[in-house]
Amino acid sequence: MKILVFGKTGQVATELQRQADVIALDMIALGRDQADLSDPAACAAAIAKHAPDAVINAAAYTAVDKAEEDEALATVINGDAPTAMAEACAARDIPFVHISTDYVFDGSGDAPWRPGDATGPIGAYGRSKLAGERGVIAAGGCYAILRTSWVFSAHGSNFVKTMLRLAETRDALTVVSDQIGGPTAAADIAAACLTLARGLRAGTGKSGTYHFAGQPDVSWADFARDIFAQANLAVRVTDIPSSDYPTPAKRPLNSRMECGALETEFGIARPDWRRSLADVLTDLKGSTS
């Protein structure tokens, strides 16, 4: 099975390549120099060129705050490009796996979001990702949209690495405590994407929108406490509300996600992010030793 991946250096794309190496999977990962998502036609052309058995889109415009002033470009990359990919896949009967986000919801309430719940993004990033979802569905092919949240890994920029960096010079931090969600390791997302691609190709799973996030749900502040505890760092965390940490883009307060459909349809259970965090910390320790 040959899998074409859009993305090469991002968190999930990096993990996809690592896992492909372990299981000797035929995978082609395209960086920006080979398929620039700001040029949707080039993405469609790459699919035609490589003729894969499945496509995974692990690339995106992820600068949430910057998207507020650059929504047009974010929409091309997160909306138009995946739409072009999905249309190219549909024309060739190729399964398409697309990673999306909890930001397509408005973050209200405290009940876990279900795949069929009404969307209502509160920022440019969420709107751009929702445009991509709609384009993928409208393409009419075989697809899986995987909404996930709070991605972390030993690669790139993410909350875990930020906390560890701050801990190098500070013994006390204030962290937002009224945003609740499921931290999700990029390695777990990559594994889920591969399972989805295989299932769709084999016809053992159906097209649709699915949720995937680590468990248990937690606040950013409590996530930070667990990071420091596992890393054996003496850093005191003080809870603050989101209003005390204003950002250009509003963040959803409720990022809880109901993930049962993914387990029912593809046998993919919610991972325990605490175990995945331990793996990431081991990975980071190895990279600096």
Does the pTM exceed 0.75?
yes
pLDDT tens for the 289 residues of the chain, in order: 999 999 999 999 999 999 999 988 899 999 999 999 999 999 999 999 999 999 999 999 999 999 999 999 999 999 999 999 999 999 999 999 999 999 999 999 999 999 999 999 999 999 999 999 999 999 999 999 999 999 999 999 999 999 999 999 999 999 999 999 999 999 999 999 999 999 999 999 999 999 999 999 999 999 999 999 999 999 999 999 999 999 999 999 999 999 999 999 999 999 999 999 999 999 998 876 5
Alpha helix stretches (DSSP H) within 3-123: 11-23, 40-50, 71-75, 81-92
| Cα distance between residue 79 and residue 73, in whole Å | 9
- What integer pLDDT is reported at residue 289 of this predicted model? 54
Q: What radius of gyration do the chain's Cα atoms show?
A: 18
| Cα distance between residue 119 and residue 131, in whole Å | 11
- What integer pLDDT is reported at residue 23 of this predicted model? 86
- What integer pLDDT is reported at residue 286 of this predicted model? 82
Active site residue 143: no
| Cα distance between residue 232 and residue 153, in whole Å | 18
User: Which of 105, 10, 123 is closest to 56 using CA atoms?
Assistant: 10
- What integer pLDDT is reported at residue 68 of this predicted model? 98
- What integer pLDDT is reported at residue 51 of this predicted model? 96
| Cα distance between residue 133 and residue 246, in whole Å | 28
- Close Cβ partners of 23 (under 8 Å, ≥ 6 residues apart): none
| Cα distance between residue 273 and residue 256, in whole Å | 14
Answer for the pair 152, 160: CB distance below 8 angstroms, yes or no: yes
Q: What is the dihedral of CA 203, 206, 209, 214, to 10 degrees?
A: -70
The active-site residue, picked from 125, 143, 210, 245, is: 125
Considering the four listed CATH numbers 3.40.640.10, 3.40.1260.10, 3.40.50.720, 3.40.718.10, the one that applies to the domain covering 2-158+182-214+256-271 is 3.40.50.720
- What integer pLDDT is reported at residue 288 of this predicted model? 63
